[in-house]
Chains A and B, each alone.
Chain A
Amino acid sequence: MTSADLLLQQVINGLSLGSMYALLALGFTLVYGIMELINFSHFNVFMVGSMVAMLTLQALGVVGQDTVMTGFPLVGVLLVAFAMSMVVCGGIGVGIERFLLRPLRAVKGPPAMITTIGVSYVLFNVVLLTLGTDAKNFPNPLPPIVWNIGGAVLRLREVLIWIIAIVLMGGLTYFVQYTKIGRAMRATAQDPEAARMMGVEVDRVVMMAFFLGSALAGASGMIFGLYYNLAKVDIGFGAGLRAFTAAVLGGIGNVPGAMLGGVIIGLIESSSGQIVGAAWTDVVIFSLLVLVLVFRPAGLLGRIAPNKS
């Protein structure tokens, strides 16, 4: 492999990881944009999404790496698995918001954030106690189609991941920009009090943000499984922190920013393995997080959050 091929390969890998982080980052950004809350439960909602996708695929008869499908059955199986993980995660998100966070909305300071840490713990341990700690073989029904671009390899699953990410992000952008509730979300992000006075049902907007963010985390969890061919109970922490860094990097609260940040983080991760060694990737990413927060807290595309005065 020449160095140009290596670079291309890293871009391919980085874009796939980046798609996953971007989808996950959107959940942080939607919730933060509307309620200024870092939602730690998001880490493990993502992990649950990965598990739900795995169980759904297994229920549909796809086991391990050996079941290969093509055509309509493949599309059908993937759609069902994505839909299932998104709906279950969206439901969990709504439940967290409705029953655990809404009672705390008027409370200032860390209680809401501490609650999300608690929820994260509960999700983690429920999965741990029911499914165990071992890495699971994530079913992969994709046919092994490979394109060679120079020395770099582009597999079908990477293309699929990109397509799914683009569709979901496009859908979200449309939703936020052009629908009535999307407009209500943007209004609430600017000024919850004014939005409420103008007749926006803030409760519904917050719930919608949780639903969308968590559903995207579910999709992201399935992408994780397809990319790494594994599902594991402790994947939430690392992926979640990277996605959060992505959200901050792009400008927290900013939807296109989260997408951009996700892709950048993906590229950094895929190349830092070469440059500083995989063991230090986390250190690189956390350092980036600190540097961004200290020197450019608004991120690359600007921060959007309620102006609490």
Chain B
Amino acid sequence: MVSSAIAAVSRPFMAMSLERRKTLGLILLAVILLIFPIVNPDDGDIDNAANALAYATLALGLNIVVGFAGLLDLGYAAFFAIGAYFYGILTSFQVMPLWSDVWGPFAYLGLVEKMNQGGPDLVHFTLSFWLALPLAALTAAFFGILFGAPTLRLRGDYLAIVTLGFGEIVPIVARNLDSVTNGAAGLNGVQAPRLLGYNFGIDATPYYYVGIGLAALLIFVSTRLRNSRVGRAWVAIREDETAASAMGINLVRFKLMAFAIGAAFAGMTGVYFVAKLQTATPEMFNFNVSSMLLVMVVLGGMGSVWGVVVGAVLLQLMQTWFLPQVTGWTHSLGVALGNSYLQNVDFVQWTQLFFGLILICMMLFRREGLIPATRKVAPLSFAAQHAEVKRGGFVGLDRIPRWTPGAGNALEIRGVTVKFGGLVALNAVDLTLPAGGVLAVIGPNGSGKSTLFNVITGLVPADSGSIKCHGVELLGLAPHQVLEQGVARTFQNIRLFPNLSVLENVMIGRHARLKSGPFSSVLHTPGNVAEEAAAKQSVLDIIAMFGNRLTPRLAQMVGGLSYANRRRVEIARALASRPKILLLDEPTAGMNPAETLELAEQIKSLHDLGLTILIIEHKLDVVTKLADSVVVLDHGDRIAEGLPDEIRRNEQVLTAYLGRAARAAVMEETDAG
């Protein structure tokens, strides 16, 4: 009966498209939120709801730093404090310099007023709440950059402890700079916001509505950012820093951006929170606040915008409603049973114990949070995932623009030496790759092949030498700058971004060729929309070159793909950066002979489009098929260079690969044959 009724009601709802359902859900949520103070006019409840909104906005900001960019910030409350004190100091009676005519224009703008409490005229700051919101955001962002700049170069775990330190320093400074902050007693008489002559006063309802506005704004900003070039760069950094920088992402810049934007969210919330409380004390911003926000983000789901909002609301509900309720019930039970412990226990005091338990349980049993950032994709049907080995190279190449060989040599390496301690990984290696050519680098394990790739792409510094790409010196450039110069690579042991979809992985490859920053991404400026659309189209064209290997799997996480498909995604990602030179590090490793042949022919067809390729490969049939020329490395020395067939018979090469005795045997055989 009941279930059929529910089914009848929900049927039209379920029949809608996902987009419509989302819109409808949002409208419903908005209506509920807007009428809540009318339905339930209890000021305490509305105040709790307004606080929940403040926590939600803070959690959204922390989510940008921790969830998106993967930077564990344990001192996030510091930025909350900075925003709070910014507004508190500029609207209270704490700091009152002597009046002089310099303040006249500010008084005209309503930012200050002349005040006389007996004695000389003083300046009373009266910054408008609405102006303070963006200004505090900017101030906090500035401090985010200031704190971040020296520390973001550190490894992630060190960052956690340094931010913890900053998070402690800010309340200490607030406590001890009495003249500015009134010390431990806190700022008093902070001015309430006004809007069109209406003073917000101490009633919770207007703050609640401002909170909704703020939360809605920050959800909107978070969502837009996450689905933009900036958001992709952040998650790429979270997933694999090395691969992110090799794909053209400026690590320092985007980490600082995450720090600054996260801090800006906290700064705005600080203004809101202090305006609501009309006081600010150092205790409001200690480590407990930072860690409570971390619990919210972890509970909801790191990186999940709606998840962290839900996490914040749930924790606030737990503290202000659930635990007091349970305490009440337990007391009643205690009375009924005559048990004095149960009559006196106060679960509200257990709040932080539950925080700890939530952190532990979420990490052990549900790391992705209550509302995971990435949704599971339905598995492909047999027909959809059926793929046969394709011969004849890439398909749909007509959509891919041809490469025009640039002037001079694509790559000129002169005397490059790399030492690791006493080990010489590369010894004065010379190598020339003409534009449009395919050069293979071979050599036994440990001969320096991968080091060669690492030094070209800026992952390993060279001790001496020069590497020029079309005349531009690459040595000394950071990995992302090397990519900007048009050198893209794949890794021997595949470095994709495992928790991102195929489409996102390849889109990240496009990063360096796009320009959108955070502002145009949030505002969806026409330029940004056009750029994203064009980028997506060209990425889809690249993915489509692999036939139906990748196209049906666009939305799948690459972590779950087959080995060969992950190799293909990595090649697609490198191609998406539209490189001048493609560096392939053992692209066919781990593939079966049929797949190897397929990929070799595909690489060949890239060459036919005019792309310059440098390839490390062990399989000599692949090398013979592809390469114009082969360079052989052994123990860091270049021991031979020539046509593939010459190399096969080169004595030194055979010695390096097979040892002296075996070489003799092979030479005899070839001589006999």
Contact = CB atoms under 8 A, between A and B. Distances in A.
Interface of A: 36-38, 100, 103-104, 107, 109-115, 117-126, 128-129, 237, 241, 244, 248, 279-280, 282-283, 286-287, 289-290, 293-294, 297
B162 interface: yes
A20 B257 CA distance: 40
A121 B357 CA distance: 8
Contacts of B168: 241, 282, 286
Nearest to B176: A279
A290 B357 contact: no
A36 B294 CA distance: 21
B157 interface: yes
A110 B157 CA distance: 8
A114 B669 CA distance: 63
B154 A294 contact: yes
B648 interface: no
Contacts of B151: 290, 293-294
A36 B157 contact: yes
B25 interface: no
B578 to A, nearest CB: 30
B607 interface: no
Contacts of A111: 363, 367
A103 B366 CA distance: 12
Interface string B159-197: 011101110110011011000000000000000000000
B106 interface: no
Residue in A109, A114, A115, A123 with the greatest tally of chain B CB atoms within 10 Å = A114
Q: Nearest 5 A-B pairs (CB), nearest first?
A: A121-B356, A118-B359, A286-B165, A125-B353, A122-B356
B165 A121 contact: no
Contacts of B355: 118, 121
A289 B161 contact: yes
A110 B239 CA distance: 12
Given A115-B360, A115-B364, A119-B356, 17 more contacts: A110-B70, A112-B363, A113-B157, A114-B359, A119-B360, A120-B356, A121-B291, A122-B356, A122-B360, A125-B350, A125-B356, A241-B164, A248-B158, A289-B162, A290-B150, A290-B151, A293-B154
Given A114-B294, A289-B165, A38 B160 contact: yes
Majority secondary structure of chain A interface residues (helix, strand, loop or mixed): helix
Nearest to A244: B161
Contacts of A287: 169
Majority secondary structure of chain B interface residues (helix, strand, loop or mixed): helix
6 contacts: A37-B157, A111-B363, A111-B367, A283-B169, A293-B151, A293-B154
A121 B72 CA distance: 17
A283 B177 CA distance: 13
B349 interface: yes
A129 B352 CA distance: 11
A270 to B, nearest CB: 19
A115 B156 CA distance: 16
B153 interface: yes
A107 B367 contact: yes
B161 A38 contact: yes
B157 A38 contact: yes
B287 interface: yes
B349 A280 contact: no
A280 B154 CA distance: 25
B477 interface: no
B358 interface: yes
Interface in B434-465: none
Contact of A283 (B172, B238, B356, B367): B172
Given A38-B161, A286-B169, A117 B154 contact: no
A237 to B, nearest CB: 7
A37 B155 CA distance: 12
Interface in B230-253: 238
A210 B294 CA distance: 25
B451 to A, nearest CB: 12
Interface in B611-658: none
B210 to A, nearest CB: 32
A229 B504 CA distance: 59
A181 B9 CA distance: 67
A103 to B, nearest CB: 6
Contacts of B165: 241, 286, 289-290
A126 B349 CA distance: 11
B428 interface: no
Contacts of B298: 114
A115 B72 CA distance: 13
B635 to A, nearest CB: 20
A129 B349 contact: yes
B149 to A, nearest CB: 10
Contacts of A244: 161
Interface string B343-374: 00000011011011111100110010000000
A297 B154 contact: yes
Contacts of B66: 110
A280 B176 CA distance: 8
B175 A279 contact: yes
Given A38-B161, A119-B360, A280-B172, A237 B287 contact: yes
Contacts of A113: 72, 157, 160
Contacts of B156: 109-110
B524 to A, nearest CB: 31
A289 B298 CA distance: 27
B154 A115 contact: no
Contacts of B359: 114-115, 117-118, 121
Interface string B71-86: 0101000000000000
Nearest to B238: A109
Contacts of A103: 364
Interface string B517-558: 000000000000000000000000000000000000000000
Nearest to A281: B172
Nearest to A44: B356
A224 B360 CA distance: 28
A38 B166 CA distance: 17
Contacts of A128: 352
B169 A282 contact: yes
B352 A124 contact: yes
Contacts of B350: 125, 129
B155 to A, nearest CB: 8
Nearest to A96: B360
B363 A114 contact: yes
A121 B364 contact: no
Contacts of B364: 100, 103-104, 115
A238 B577 CA distance: 48
